[in-house]
Structure 1
């Protein structure tokens, strides 16, 4: 069976073969438990985990001791927000979050709100940007924590986390950012940005599934989510999976070395795809800012169709989505698209395209032709799919 072209690199990314090769020995002879302190098997695994910790820290400008390995961004977000909220003093329990956070952050905010933590949700502008001014306006004397993502998981808009950090740090407010989509795609530097907690996921940046990390700035207190053996500075008990940590470290090292060149290449391919779709389909529109945006992201609304019908029509040719993988089975309009002012009809006509490390110009042209042809078949309208080289 011929597999469809994969253009859903927000949901996950294929494991980079270089990361896979780095992991391989730790599935085989080097199988030790990194917490076994009495013999060479444990020392070998521990050394590999600590090397990976250094690589992940270097990607975001952190100290290795500030990196806590987790099972992924969902756990990191929960540990960050729930863990920080549990340590907030009386009188500082007000929380602020953007209205376009990933479902796992939104769900944690809903949970805490139900437990007596007042929550203010800050709306983005039409471009999908949550401004520092809007965050500042939401802050009260009793605000203890702010959570704003680094890059949106649907429309790819980059949030001004440095400007937001400049608002929170002088006020002594804990600032958390979900960087699962941004890490490895755009530069991140936690200290200049004033970020206290930053969530990462390996499988969003060509590393293995099942591992993530939380940056915890030195001096920030968190309540662990669960009790156990006290690993990861007592913040995340459980055996660190050495093979996955090694793969994460390799992915971070590769991203750090190749990010700038890869971003330029993907930005060019994204613009090529937009040009071809705009030429073929009348009325195509981009959701969110096209400048403050992840280089590989294109979120579009196509007139006259429902996105799920288009995606189904493309299932044998191109794999794309209508938004977050966590909500891909939902037929409800995206909360992100509603938040930037789209009508339900516009939101339901929107598709998310994520280009990747191995996407080629030929792939882009093939995808543009397939999307245009599927749109024409669904709408009964003509489209032009002959593109200039």
Structure 2
């Protein structure tokens, strides 16, 4: 009777388990995030009583599907399509003329078709006579009256949009995850983690404000490619076998990466519309929402690894660490090749 030979190299099986689990997660998340869409926008401009032109902007998923957001006037207006265009390869812009039976301020808008990855619609209506109405429609508040003297815009709406932009932007989430994993590899202090996140926050707050205010113009495709490269850089640093303590160059790079990601946040919102009459308040609310989403990602990671450590299974933290690293490397390499090829 042959005895089973003992396992001589359990580390090999652990590595195989990590690789297979990571690849499965890449495939699962890849399909799920292929439908990433985000905020939609509707801009109305009334040229004469009840008549004017509208621009309807909706994001397009990686699979070619369009955000299912739609809208309707009450009382109904006749809408005549004028054209359809694609912006930055991922946003569909529809233009049309509208003709209503009365002045636009006697009408209201109702939005429908909200889904998890297309959760809101920013509305801007320039009425005849010079007044501008702003609103953010959501499943909780799907209607907006285009009346003069309508209640002021709720800034919590832009706070919520900021959270959504952070959590629905997988490249941004993976960058924060990469910062956390690199900090964990370097066995850094809590102060170092807070300092790195603060630097990243300051960096993206600066470019977010500069681009939205129109003081800085950045090339969209180049920024998207560099954002992908920033995630890939972190993945490489985490994968390197040697132990490196954070250097001055490391801190400078984090600040520069913050500037890059801030440009990305701004580009996703600058054409959607911030209210000009209260731009700073909306911009601040949006930025605070980004920080809340960023904090949620970090707290989730801290909680996850703390729970794994308490499970008293030594392999679990290592498997999770390397699985997340595979996600970082796989997605960032794919995005880098895809975005650089598009840019070139």
Name the structure, 1 or 2, with higher relative contact order (CA <8 Å, separation 6+): 1
Q: Which has the higher strand share?
A: 2
TM-score (structure 2 length as normaliser): 0.26
Q: Which has the higher helix share?
A: 2
Instruction: Give the greater-gyration-radius structure (CA).
Output: 2
